[in-house]
Amino acid sequence: MTDDEIIYLDNNATTPLDPAVIEEMLPFLTEFYGNPSSGYAFAAKARKAIDLARERLAALLGCEPSEIVFTSGGTESNNAVIHSALQVDPRGKHIVTSAVEHSAVLRPCQDLEKQGCFVTFLGVDRDGNVDLAELEAEIRPETALVSMMWANNETGVLFPVEKIAEICRRKSVLFHTDAVQATGKIPMRLRNTAINFLSLSAHKFHGPKGVGALYVNRRTRFSPLIAGGGQENGRRGGTENVASIVGLGKAAELAAKYLADGKCSIQSMRDRFEKAVLETVSGASVNGAGAPRISNTSSLSFEGIESSAALLLLDRHGICCSASSACRTGSQEASHVLRAMNPNGDGARRSLRFSFGRFNTDAQIDRAIGIVPKVIEKLRATAAPRAVAAAT
Ligand SMILES: Cc1ncc(COP(=O)(O)O)c(C=O)c1O
């Protein structure tokens, strides 16, 4: 199978680099290798390129360039916020988050619990919604941070983060959102919100891997996770990853352009695929169907299949998708997100996530619509005799 025949429907795991991003990055890997902190004119090229990237990202987020701290990605940004919130608040011994966050929030919170910090992991309903009254009731005088993701990486379910941020402002508690899956897909104007911190990652919107950013509202105190040189205005030590930051900036500029002209066909591809699969495959349902969802994600549950077997067969047909999140592929552990939505159901073992991007074509969607139902049918046909044999 050639790369041309591959149908990449795993854009929540990562996205292909936009060629225009590569073009802007290359000179900073070859010609302009100066350290942005050096004082001579040659290094100023790198410094100015970082400034431009900061402005482009600020334009996408609707914030000030000075509110952006470049990091190594979403995981670092999330860890940095959790660390900072506890450092700056001497009473801070409690965090409120949700049970469906990415492991880049869950793991640091679980580690803190072992060190004596209290963490509330809010549950969700069957559609993946969080109860705002319950969230508000969980905030205590010693709560240092509320961290709720903007778009769920497995189901695409959106949390009402602007409303949550308002609740936190009223209660004088810091609010962070992991917006790794929302950035570049949803218009944002952070300056009109009460969000204190926001995490993002370039490789989820056609930028390079290993680079991301943290938005820190200019009135919010911040204590760095990585101490070192005074880079990033003293908020993140370490020589800047110049080429990757340039790539992030270009990817942000392109995302802003696509959001502004509104011609992007991602939602129509997702909807067409979802409708066709639901119509042709019996016993198929959408995880999070009753909740607001981001436009590129389709998490589907299929009765009578094992998602691990489905992934193998789909792979043979050139379809790249995932069982839940990419981080869990290869392990037998079922999705904590789908389990939180339906603890007694078996949807977590029967679900596949298809996530679409702007490099997908209508022809690919047509092929996927042809292949997916056949794969599910084949899996059910091979599973049925085994089930009968087991029962006899
Ligand atoms: C919601 C969410 N948060 C955080 C991350 C981690 O981002 P990174 O890969 O840049 O560390 C991911 C990556 O899948 C994600 O989907």
Question: Which domains occur in the chain, in start order?
Answer: 3-15+263-391 (3.90.1150.10), 19-259 (3.40.640.10)
Tokens of 319: 């379809």
- Check residue 392 and give its pLDDT: 46
- Check residue 109 and give its pLDDT: 98
At residue 281, the 3 state secondary structure works out as: coil
Ligand 1 centroid to Cα of residue 209, in Å, is: 10
- Check residue 387 and give its pLDDT: 55
- Check residue 386 and give its pLDDT: 62
310 in ligand 1 pocket by Cβ < 6 Å? no
At residue 238, the 3 state secondary structure works out as: coil
- Check residue 324 and give its pLDDT: 64
Q: Is 56 exposed, middle or buried (0-12, 13-18, 19+ CB in 10 A)?
A: buried
- Check residue 327 and give its pLDDT: 45
Active site residues: 327
74 in ligand 1 pocket by Cβ < 6 Å? yes
| Residue 102 to residue 109: CA distance in whole angstroms | 11
CB 202 within 8 A of CB 168: no
* Percentage, residues of the chain above pLDDT 70: 94
Ligand 1 centroid to Cα of residue 327, in Å, is: 9
The per-residue pLDDT for range 269-305, each reduced to its tens digit, is 999 999 999 999 999 999 999 999 999 999 999 999 9
| 247, amino acid identity | G
The reply to whether the predicted model has a pTM over 0.75 is: yes
364 in ligand 1 pocket by Cβ < 6 Å? no
Q: Please say whether the dihedral angle defined by the alpha carbons of residues 243, 358, 3 and 212, taken in this order, is positive or negative.
A: positive
Q: H or E segment at 212? A: strand 212-216
Closest CA to 276 of 165, 362, 156, 155: 362
According to DSSP, the β-strands at 197-201 and 212-216 are antiparallel
According to DSSP, the β-strands at 7-8 and 212-216 are unpaired
77 in ligand 1 pocket by Cβ < 6 Å? no
Instruction: Give every residue of the chain whose pLDDT is below 70, as ranges.
Output: 1-4, 263, 324-332, 384-392
Residues forming a β-bridge with 145:
95, 174
248 in ligand 1 pocket by Cβ < 6 Å? no
| Residue 6 to residue 37: CA distance in whole angstroms | 43
Ligand 1 centroid to Cα of residue 104, in Å, is: 7
| Residue 312 to residue 308: CA distance in whole angstroms | 7
- Check residue 3 and give its pLDDT: 66
Position in ligand 1 atom list of the atom nearest CA 149: 1
